[in-house]
Amino acid sequence: MLIGLAYVALWSAALMYLAYTWMGRLPIGQAATGMAVVAWGLQTAALIRRGLAAGHWPLTNRYEVALSMAWAIVTVYLVLEANWRERRAGAFALGIALLVASYAITRPAADRALAPLLPALRSPWFQVHVLSAVVGYGACGVAAGLGIMRWAWRADEGNLGLSVRAIERQMGRVVGWGFPWLTLGILSGAIWAQGAWGRYWGWDPKETWALITWLWYLMMLHVQTLPRWRGRRLSALTVIGFGIVLFTFVGVPWLVRVVRLESLHGY
């Protein structure tokens, strides 16, 4: 019930932000922010409720991780809005959150069912690893929304006082926020793997693509300082980066199943 209400609130907030971006009326923007906060509150309550019902953190399968990722995207966006004092990115960032949330609510009933924690997941490093990755992916999602916004925005300094350079600065800022979380996710995952499987790194398909994701955003942090990579090129890299995130999350398990690769990761 709470998840459904959160999904409706997320749609409402995204549409309000879109109306504000189109019309520029402050009351609509304020209402959009209020609805985004409501959606965040409902998402938080839904995750807490599921965690209490299951008896463990709601991070054990693709359904729960997708819900948590949508929550992280909204969280990072609201922090960005509070710091930037700009609401017109809301339609783009929450559009990314809706994409992830829509994937979650369309999962089969078996994935949405509560299940006990598997023995391999009964480690404090499980929460650190998955939650760090989720927060990092949430920042990547917001950055991708800003990348799409940069493509859609006019190149002049007008457009109601918001320049493309300002969008690019915030895009780089959000990537900078997310990168330490991606790093912590990989490091904590390696420590967890040593305790669970007796090795820090085994070039498992999931580990490999997590490393590719990390390297992609490391590259972005370097090239964003180069003038020739600014503008739409950097925006394209940001959107592609989130595509890699989604492939790591959804595509790798599919590839493992179809190609019959060996993997110790359940999702």
Q: Which residue has the higher pLDDT, 144 or 231?
A: 144
Is residue 147 within 8 A of residue 167, CB to CB? The reply is no
pLDDT tens, 97-149?
999 999 999 998 888 888 887 777 788 888 899 999 999 999 999 999 999 99
Please report, to the nearest 10 degrees, the dihedral formed by the alpha carbons of residues 135, 137, 138, 143 taken in order.
Answer: 130
Distance CA 50, CA 38 (A): 18
* Reported confidence tier of residue 162, pLDDT bands at 50, 70, 90: confident
**Nearest CA to 61 among 102, 7, 115, 98?**
115
Question: Got the DSSP string for 6-30?
Answer: HHHHHHHHHHHHHHHHHH--HHHHH
What residue spans of the chain are helical by DSSP H? 2-23, 26-54, 62-84, 90-105, 109-112, 124-152, 164-197, 205-223, 232-246, 252-259
pLDDT tens, 99-113?
999 999 999 888 888
For residues 178-183, average pLDDT: 97
**Nearest CA to 181 among 193, 191, 189, 169?**
189
Beta-strand ranges (E) seen in the chain are none
Is residue 41 within 8 A of residue 13, CB to CB? The reply is no
Distance CA 55, CA 57 (A): 7
Is residue 2 within 8 A of residue 46, CB to CB? The reply is yes
Is residue 187 within 8 A of residue 136, CB to CB? The reply is no
* Reported confidence tier of residue 157, pLDDT bands at 50, 70, 90: very low
What is the residue-averaged pLDDT of the chain?
A: 90
Domain positions in the chain are 1-117, 123-267
**Nearest CA to 265 among 197, 177, 188?**
197
With 0-12 / 13-18 / 19 or more C-beta atoms within 10 angstroms meaning exposed / middle / buried, residue 62 is: middle
* Reported confidence tier of residue 263, pLDDT bands at 50, 70, 90: low
Distance CA 70, CA 251 (A): 18
Q: Residue 107: helix, strand or coil by DSSP? A: coil
**Nearest CA to 46 among 112, 123, 126, 145?**
112
pTM of the model: 0.93
* Whole-Å CA distances, 30 to 16, 34, 35, 167: 9, 6, 9, 20
